[in-house]
Amino acid sequence: MTETELKALMLAGLAGDAASHARLLAALAPRLRAFFARRMGGPTAEAEDLVQETLLAIHLKRGLYDGSQPLTPWVQAIARYKLIDAWRRTGGRRMDSLDETEELPAEDASEAAMARRDLGVLLDRLPKRQQALLRDVRIEGLSMAEAADRHGMSVAAVKVGLHRSLKALQALVGRGGSSPDGEAGS
């Protein structure tokens, strides 16, 4: 998919078209996978975590995309940021300028560290209500309206709840899943 097509999908997604947004994320996922694999010594579980973190950030920060600019550099800037951020977290190092830092040492992540950052594990640490919403809508495949019925909420409230749980998920990712409350994040 070309830059022009990707950008069109992004703009449609910003206007509220969920199908375009899904197509955009699906098209970006393999690119991100290649991006991280190239820089992390192969398609490791850790690289896949970063793919997911980056997709989440692309989703949550999409309001920061300026339509007058090309999309690919915007996505790449987020991916590079996530890479450096992960590196800093593992190495306990302060993140400095991100400009063109391509050379990263191979990481030696233990199984436990990978498991801690796995989104599936993180999902289990969300508050019960948010967890239930995510599971119902996504994993059981209920529609928003069905989920709203089941939880006695309005459809709008379900949407807000889903949005919150995504943010909470993001906050958990940020903290390595150490705490179940979902207050932080942006």
Site for other proteins in 12-31 (CB under 8 A): 13-19, 21-22, 25-26, 29
62 near other proteins, judged by CB under 8 A: yes
- State the nearest-atom distance from the C-beta of 17 to other proteins, in Å: 7
Joined together, the tokens standing for residue 148 give 């709203």
Contact residues for 37 (Cβ-Cβ < 8 A; gap 6+) = 43, 44, 47
- Confirm if 166 and 56 have CB atoms less than 8 A apart: yes
Q: How many CA atoms lie within 13 A of 42 on its CB side?
A: 5
Site for other proteins in 33-52 (CB under 8 A): 48, 51-52
- State the nearest-atom distance from the C-beta of 170 to other proteins, in Å: 6
102 near other proteins, judged by CB under 8 A: no
In the set 7, 65, 130, 168, which binds other proteins (CB under 8 A)? Answer: 65
Contact residues for 155 (Cβ-Cβ < 8 A; gap 6+) = 144, 145, 148
73 near other proteins, judged by CB under 8 A: yes
Alpha helices in the chain (DSSP H): 3-14, 18-39, 45-60, 71-91, 111-117, 119-124, 128-134, 144-151, 155-174
CA 131 to chain centre: 16
In the set 6, 9, 40, 56, which binds other proteins (CB under 8 A)? Answer: 56
| Residue 107 or 185 with smaller CB distance to other proteins | 185
Q: Which residues bind other proteins (CB under 8 A)?
A: 13-19, 21-22, 25-26, 29, 48, 51-53, 55-57, 59, 61-66, 69, 73-74, 76-78, 80-81, 85, 94-99, 119-120, 123, 134, 137-139, 144, 159, 162-163, 166, 170-171, 173-174, 185-186
